[in-house]
């Protein structure tokens, strides 16, 4: 049967705790540097516009979206979407986040390979995520190990997605920090604050990969154990 066992406690739970810590860290770091206003008093929207224009991306629109830390770049609409806590905020935290999302727009424009790969595997990942656990459950329930292994393969697609996401996010942050310096949007001391915010955000993606890897390992141990029975 598909039941809770030691593999979850030993492998998955520590990764989940890491994910909670990473989420707390990014929120607390963003809050801290949201109170540090940039000397130029440039808003997140204005910083994003300057970076996009500096890269010739005049056609990329910048939208305001609801929520906090809901910022994202949408390649389907070619828009940079900034949350309410970033769009009109002049803090080094907001500017760093806005620059990061602009970095994704630049990646998309120049054909950065990892972001193209991530976009290409999204449909497969969505299917795999929906089918993985049911297939493992049914396979173990019916002692049909091959079906359970197929579920593990489907789950692995989600892990691959998390793995591909890492270089995409780190590269976007590197592009953002370089752009903030090159355009003079932030001074050297201010960039340090933005870097800390982006570094904390990057840890959430590392934690997400760790959770996915540990869940996959837990599933494989469980299925292989049934295979030996």
Per-residue pLDDT of 36-92, as tens digits, reads 999 999 999 999 999 999 999 999 999 999 998 899 999 999 999 999 999 999 999
> How far, in whole angstroms, is CA 36 from its chain's centroid?
25
The reported pLDDT for the residue numbered 1 is: 42
What local confidence, expressed as pLDDT, does residue 228 receive?
61
What sign results for the dihedral spanned by CA atoms 108, 110, 112, 113? positive
Mean of pLDDT over the chain: 93
Give the pLDDT score at 229: 54
The pTM of the full predicted model, rounded to 2 decimals, is 0.90
Which residues of the chain are modeled with pLDDT < 70? 1-6, 227-229
Residue 68 a catalytic site member: no
Dmax over CA atoms of the chain, in Å, equals: 67
Supply the pLDDT for residue 10. 80
- Measured in residues, the chain has a length of 229
Q: Write down the catalytic residue from 101, 146, 181, 189.
A: 101
CA triple 98-103-109, angle to 5 deg: 130
Please tell me the predicted confidence (pLDDT) of residue 104: 98
Q: What is the pLDDT of residue 222?
A: 87
């Amino acid at each position: 049967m598909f039941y809770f066992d030691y593999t979850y406690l030993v492998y998955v739970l520590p990764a989940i705790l890491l994910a909670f810590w990473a989420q707390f860290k990014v929120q607390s770091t963003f809050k801290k540097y949201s109170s540090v206003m940039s000397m130029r008093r440039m808003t997140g929207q204005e910083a994003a516009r300057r970076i996009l224009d500096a890269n010739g991306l005049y056609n990329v629109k910048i939208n305001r979206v609801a929520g906090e830390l809901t910022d994202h770049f949408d390649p389907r609409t070619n828009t940079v979407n900034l949350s309410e806590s970033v769009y009109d905020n002049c803090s080094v935290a907001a500017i760093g986040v806005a620059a990061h999302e602009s970095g994704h727009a630049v990646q998309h424009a120049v054909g950065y390979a990892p972001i193209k790969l991530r976009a290409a595997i999204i449909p497969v990942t969505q299917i795999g995520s929906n089918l993985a656990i049911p297939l493992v459950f049914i396979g173990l329930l019916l002692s049909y190990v091959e079906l359970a292994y197929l579920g593990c393969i489907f789950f692995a697609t989600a892990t691959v997605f998390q793995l591909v996401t890492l270089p995409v996010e780190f590269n976007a942050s590197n592009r953002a920090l370089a752009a903030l310096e090159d355009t003079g949007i932030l001074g050297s001391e201010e960039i340090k604050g933005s870097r800390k915010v982006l570094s904390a955000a990057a840890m959430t993606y590392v934690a997400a990969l760790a959770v996915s890897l540990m869940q996959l390992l837990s599933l494989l141990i469980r299925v292989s154990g049934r295979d030996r029975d």
